[in-house]
Amino acid sequence: METFKKKRVEIILEQPMVRPMLHLIEKLGVTGYTMLPHLSGKGHTGERGETDLSGALANAMIIVITSQDQAHRLMEQGLKLLTDRTGIIYMSDVEVARDQHF
């Protein structure tokens, strides 16, 4: 089976920022994403998780499979959106079978 190289961008961010980030993804013209809600974690801003009732301390993950170019753009502009905020972005290589789907 022939496969095509894409990037998998993963964004871990605070719940209230999910909508703005999805808005950015849309604006960049990326064709899809997947969202995992209700995560907990720890980083430079300390422990986070749904320990309060507001959701302000909960984490979520957004996964995006896209081309190398789009991935770089998303990483750059995503990091800008997260300036001064809690959250991380990283990317890795993946192979897909349907090149045109992503």
Partner 1 sequence: MGDVISVAMGNLLTPMVLFFALGFIAAQLRSDLEIPEAISKGLAIYLMASIGFQGGVKLSHAGFGLNVALSLLAAVALSFLLPFLAYFLLRATTLMKRETAAAVAAHYGSISVVTFVTATEFLNSQGIPFEGHLVAMMALMETPAIVSGLLLARRGASKDGGGLAGDNPQMSGEVLREIFVNGSVVLLVGGFLIGWTTGDRGMDAVGAFMLDPFKGVLCLFLLEMGLVASRRLRASKLGGGMVLAFGLYMPLVGALAGLCMAWLLGLSVGGATLLAVLGASASYIAVPAAMRLAVPKADPGVYVTLALAITFPFNVVIGIPVYLAAATWLFG
Ligand X SMILES: Nc1ncnc2c1ncn2[C@@H]1O[C@H](COP(=O)(O)O)[C@@H](O)[C@H]1O
Write out the residues near a copy of itself by the rule CB under 8 A: 1, 3, 6, 8, 10, 12, 31-44, 49, 59, 61, 65, 72, 75-76, 79, 88-98, 101-102
Q: How far is the CB of 89 from partner 1 (least distance, A)?
A: 16
Residue 68 binds which entry of partner 1, ligand X, a copy of itself, none, CB below 5-8 Å type-dependent:
none
Q: How far is the CB of 41 from ligand X (least distance, A)?
A: 2
Annotate 61-87 with b (16+ C-beta within 10 A) or e (fewer).
Answer: bbebbbbeebbebbbeebeebbeeebb
Helical (H) or strand (E) element with 78: helix 68-81
Q: How far apart are CA 25 and CA 53, in angstroms?
A: 28
Footprint of partner 1 (CB under 8 A): 14-17, 19-20, 23-24, 38, 46-47, 50-57, 83-85
